[in-house]
Amino acid sequence: MAHGPSENFFSRWLFSTNHKDIGTLYLWFSFAMFLLGGAFAMIIRAELFQPGMQLIKPEFFNQMTTMHGLVMVFGAIMPAFVGLANWMIPMMIGAPDMALPRMNNLSFWILPFAFAILVSTLFMEGGGPNFGWTFYAPLSTTYAPDTVNYFIFGVHIMGASSIMGSINIIATVMNMRAPGMTYMKMPLFVWTWVITAFLLVAVMPVLAGAVTMMLMDINFGTSFFDAAGGGDPVLFQHVFWFFGHPEVYIIILPAFGVVSQIIPTFSRKPLFGYSSMVYATASIAFLSFIVWAHHMFTVGMPIAGELYFMYATMLIAVPTGVKVFNWVTTMYKGALTFETPMLFSIAFVILFTFGGFTGMMLSIAAADTQYHDTYFVVAHFHYVMVAGAVFSGTAAVYYWLPKWCGRMYDETMGKVQFWIAFIAFNITFMPQHFLGLAGMPRRYSDYGLQFADWNMVSSIGAFLYGGAQLLFLYNVIRTIGWGKPIDDPKVWDGAEGLEWTLPTPAPFHTFSTPPVVK
Amino acid sequence: MSTEGSYYVPEQSKLPLAAALGMGVMAFGAGAWVIEGGTSTVFMVGLAIIAVVMYKWWSLVIEENTQGMVSEQLKYSYVLGMYWFIFSELMFFVCFFGSLFYVRVLVGPWIGGEAAIGMFDDTPTDAAVANATHLWTGYDATWPPLVTPDQAVNADAAKFIGPQEAMSWPGLTKILSWLPLWNTIVLIASSGTVHVAHHALKEGNRKKFVRWLGLTVALGVIFLFLQAEEYIHAYQELGLTLESGIYGTTFFLLTGFHGAHVTLGTIMLFIAFLRGLKGHFSETDHFGFEAAAWYWHFVDVIWIGLFIIVYVLG
């Protein structure tokens, strides 16, 4: 493997078997989807800027909320972390590439096809999916547009992509570690990803099962979700959330991993409580399988079920608390500096913890009766999805981009983006807590006058936040094209790990002969 | 190629993109097909692309192996890939078994108005009472449900008409004419024959290997044939169809997906059989066969679960 990438542009990017190139493809694809999902969000916030219907029809509004959720979860956040995994895991464990390089490229290329199918439904008769990203039956079965069938098969191949990608990550971590790289020496990003991959292999088939049941109910006369035949619409919710709750940890665990890499670097201290971090991650993953029905407190479960799911959910706060404690303790008495990745990581810790606290509120079954399906829930999960996953993804790009391309980003511009994003994020989502507690339901295209002020504030914040992402795009392109060249292998003086022993920029092939880890 | 490296990282390949294209076309085609008045053309095109790609891809992998490019370490990557693929398949069945458990143990009694709150109280829940008094009056929750809630209320005007008879345990006297039992015997026997074939291969007895593997494939085909017979019997004589309420729904989906996996496993074993005839496998290097054998044991285990839960206790 002495040679570098293919000279031909198309052959390099279309037929790649290189983990770095495929990682780059994942990252650009996810950013494109992030902008698309963001555009849907802008339409939603523009419509909600004032009460009454101004810009779009309610039917289209429903398609926007649905597509925003689906595109952001499956198209933007998940592929972004797979892209980071592709780039970093082989470099971090001293492997020449991913274990199964051709399958790696297949996992990626399924995604553009899956999303082309999904987005094309917006232009079809009957419109795109309009039943919310959780696609509850019977909205997604009896009352769904015909295009739901495209959605179903799109989800099928997307799931295949995730399963293949995860199997690849598991095989890489289990089989490709350099001599001496024992499990308990692996960087935390690798640990969180391998646990995430287990979750994906376990629950993606359940999602496939859920959409298959929908397909059968819609087209072949079965009655999974129809009480008339002896089924139950609530069955859909159980199956969906058995997938869906692990899914939210699939999104957040790699983010934990990223932050656990960045905070020690800029604190110039090793991560506090490494092994407790590993065990906490595994505990969170285990708990994610046994708490799913806390999304369904108001659906009419027996009281024993409500109580069980309430207490089990609260347990998650314990390992999560361990993590937050460790991040904070890593920073304690460290020689802190506040470069852009560190700023995003600190914001992550603060805002994710805040989102965790609102999660605790929602976990109380009795209280949830009030909060359920209001903007409070929307605010809660955007604190963990955006300030959690997206902030950490942004931090990861600023942190590793100099290593990837051998050019430094502009620190001032990075900080400008951070502060705009941080402030705009809070302007957008903090008021949604108030709206939700005051009783504004989610997924509605119009609202009562009493909600007008905070909605306007939230919309202004959203537009600003959208603008900050364009600045992010600008920063990344500027760095790759015109950033200051650097060649120090250790881009950051506090950084530790195998990936920082490689030359900067990272060569096309690395660790053809495995390094020995002491 | 991998002169310096210890792990074979393949050259660029067109196959992954072609496979993704095939999957995309197939998914879109499937969506177009199931919609009222749709046709299967696009789906078939996608399927054809996939078939060609799979053939080429596996041929390439086999060739790489014959040329000695596949190190022990890479082989273990394939082993891990198969392990976790089978695990994902298992979770797919867990989803349907879980759904069966939920509708059978909880939903039925809820619709029938009998369900109690549980550990603290034995009076029926409000929801169960409301179901029985307002929505599904007269529905008697039993398993297997021969009368659907719809039928209990709307009689013959119902959309979901229950079956005349279920597929469950017929009692000891009729056991010999009970098809599922024979299916179980056939499938367990096939797990045994594939095991014998594996041992023969490890001993280097190729003739014995091919013979026992051929027998396994034959048993797989017999199983599928019997299963088709059973479905015809269900549709024509028992009135048990996809549309006969939750019993038919869970019965056909569980056994149907199992049957689909048996079909896949039979194809995998058949390919291993052809490769065995060609002399592809050696005593120590035969993962192509071994993976198929694992898969076969996996569908066998699922069947035992089905036999106990869907048939004997059904």
d(CA B211, CA B228): 26
Burial pattern B276-308, b for ≥16 Cβ within 10 A else e, equals: beeebbeeeebbbbbbbbbbbebbbebbeebbe
Contact B9 A210 (CB under 8 A): no
- CB contact under 8 Å between B88 and A16, yes or no, is no
Q: Cβ of B95 and A109 within 8 Å? A: no
Question: Running DSSP on this structure, what letter comes out for residue A515?
Answer: P
pLDDT in tens, B35-92: 888 899 999 999 999 999 999 999 999 999 988 888 889 999 999 999 999 999 999 9
Name the residue among A112, A163, A228 with its Cβ closest to that of B159.
Answer: A228
Structure tokens of A435?
Answer: 């709206």
Answer whether B245 sits within 8 Å of A2, measured CB to CB.
no
Percent of chain B with pLDDT over 90: 73
Crossing angle between the packed helical segments A340-363 and A411-437, to the nearest 10 degrees? 10
Q: Which of B1, B23, B135 to mutate to test the interface with A (most CBs of A within 10 A)?
A: B23
Give the chain A residue whose CA is nearest to the CA of B161: A229
Active site residues of A: 68, 97, 133, 161-162, 245, 247, 249, 260, 294-295, 320, 323, 442
Of B52, B301, B94, B37, nearest to A208 by C-alpha is B94
Average pLDDT score over residue span A261-276: 97
Q: How many residues does chain B have?
A: 314
Residue B4's pLDDT band, with cuts at 50, 70 and 90, is very low
- Residue B132's pLDDT is 85
Distances (CA, A) of B155 to A344, B130, B238, B292: 63, 20, 18, 49
Query: Could you tell me if residue B9 is inside a domain?
Result: yes
Q: How many CA atoms lie within 13 A of B158 on its CB side?
A: 24
Residue B116: helix, strand or coil by DSSP? strand
CA A296 to chain centre: 22
The pLDDT, as a whole number, for residue B2 is 41
Instruction: Answer whether A119 touches B (CB < 8 Å).
Output: no
Q: Give the rounded percent of residues in chain A with a pLDDT score beyond 70.
A: 99
Give a yes or no: residue B19 inside a domain. Answer: yes
B247/A201 Cβ within 8 A: no
- pLDDT for residue A133 is more than 90: yes
pTM for the predicted model, two decimal places: 0.95
On whether residue B85 sits in a domain, the answer given is no
Encoded tokens for A219: 């087209």
Q: Answer yes or no: is pLDDT of A199 > 60.
A: yes
Q: What is the pLDDT of residue B119?
A: 59
State how far the Cα of B207 lies from the Cα of A324, in Å rounded to an integer.
Answer: 63
C-alpha–C-alpha distance, residues B166 and B180, integer Å:
12
CATH class held by domain A22-501: mainly alpha
Residues from chain A contacting residue B75 (CB–CB below 8 Å) = none
Task: Report the chain A residue with the minimal C-alpha distance to residue B102.
Answer: A235
Judge whether B88 is closer than 8 Å to chain A, CB to CB: yes
> What is the predicted pLDDT for the residue at A301?
86
SS (H, E, C) B40-97: CHHHHHHHHHHHHHHHHHHHHHHHHHHCCCCCHHHHHHHHHHHHHHHHHHHHHHHHHH
Q: How near does any CA of chain B get to the CA of A153, in Å? A: 5
pLDDT of B118 strictly over 70: no
β-bridge partners, B121: B118
> What is the CA angle B173-B175-B177, rounded to 5?
110
Residue B58 sits in which domain range?
A: 1-70
- 3-state DSSP of B220-263: HHHHHHHHHHHHHHHHHHHCCCCCCHHHHHHHHHHHHHHHHHHH
The reply to whether A175 touches chain B by the CB within 8 Å rule is yes
The whole-angstrom separation of Cα A200 and Cα A306 is 26
Go through chain A and tell me how many residues it has: 518
Residue B142 lies in a domain: no
Among residues of chain A, what percentage have pLDDT more than 90?
95
Q: Is B125 or A112 the better-scoring residue by pLDDT?
A: A112
Q: Do B107 and A204 touch (CB under 8 A)?
A: no
CATH code assigned at B62: 1.10.287.70
* Listed residue (A259, A30, A291) closest to A161, CA to CA: A30
Q: Encoding tokens for residue B95? A: 């989803």
Domain boundaries, chain A: 22-501
A vs B, Cβ pairs < 8 A, gives 264
Q: Which helix (H) or strand (E) holds A407?
A: strand A407-408
Total Cβ atoms within 10 A of residue A332 = 11
Q: Which residues are within 8 A (CB) of A316 and not within 5 positions of it... i.e. 6 or more apart?
A: A284, A287, A288, A291
User: Environment class of residue A360 by beta-carbon count within 10 Å: exposed (0-12), middle (13-18) or buried (19+)?
Assistant: middle
B54 within some domain: yes
Average pLDDT, integer, range A451-479? 97
Q: Across all residues in chain A, what is the average pLDDT?
A: 96
> Which chain A residues have a beta carbon less than 8 Å from that of B161?
none
Residue B268 within any structural domain of the chain:
no
User: Which residues of A, range 231-260, sit inside 8 Å of B by Cβ?
Assistant: 231-232, 234-235, 238-239, 242
Q: Confirm whether B157 is domain-assigned.
A: no
Q: At what angle do helices B179-202 and B245-278 cross, to 10 degrees?
A: 30
Q: How far is CA A221 from CA A137, A145, A216, in A?
A: 15, 17, 7
Query: Could you tell me if A342 lies within 8 Å of chain B, comparing CB atoms?
Result: no
DSSP assignment letter at A54: -
A220 touches chain B (CB under 8 A): yes
Name the amino acid, one letter, at B81: G
Cα separation, A497 vs A181, in Å, equals 11
Number of H helices, E strands in chain B: 10, 2
The set of residues, in sequence order, having a beta carbon less than 8 Å from that of A106 and lying 6+ positions away, is A161, A164, B15, B16, B17, B19, B20
Segment among A368-377, A413-422, B136-145 with least mean pLDDT? B136-145
Number of structural domains found in chain B: 1
